[in-house]
């Protein structure tokens, strides 16, 4: 099974950064932010076997893309909070 590690990085960074923002944090906006950030970052696939996924994630997290991830997540928060898809 393949998973895109970038989704985990974006998830983590997004919830970390959103603590400092007053914007809407509903499911719709969170998904939009995630999609926005992920579309601007390279996919980073790892293969997983039953049970081994967690050690792989921890190892991979050591090498997570720092600056690009940070920028993409901040832009995503800004973009989506200014253009909410719901009222
Ligand atoms: Zn929302």
Model pLDDT for residues 32-53, shown as the tens digit of each residue: 999 999 999 999 888 777 656 6
Å from CA of 62 to ligand 1 middle? 31
**Contact in structure between 34 and 76 (CB atoms under 8 Å):** yes
Supply the pTM of this predicted model.
0.81
**Contact in structure between 44 and 5 (CB atoms under 8 Å):** yes
Å from CA of 83 to ligand 1 middle? 10
4 DSSP β-pair partners = 45
The structural domains of the chain, with segments of one domain joined by +, span 2-82
pLDDT band for position 63 (cuts 50, 70, 90): low
**C-alpha to C-alpha distance for 9 and 22, rounded to whole angstroms:** 22
Å from CA of 34 to ligand 1 middle? 13
Percentage of residues in the chain with pLDDT exceeding 70? 82
**C-alpha to C-alpha distance for 28 and 5, rounded to whole angstroms:** 21
Average pLDDT, integer, range 19-30 = 94
């Amino acid at each position: 099974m393949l998973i895109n590690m970038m989704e985990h990085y974006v998830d983590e960074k997004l919830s970390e950064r959103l603590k400092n923002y007053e914007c809407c944090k509903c499911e719709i906006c969170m998904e939009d932010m995630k999609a926005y950030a992920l579309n601007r970052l390279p996919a980073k696939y790892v293969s997983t076997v039953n049970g081994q996924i967690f050690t792989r994630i921890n190892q991979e997290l050591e090498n997570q893309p720092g600056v690009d991830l940070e920028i993409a997540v901040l832009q995503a928060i800004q973009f989506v909070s200014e253009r909410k898809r719901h009222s």
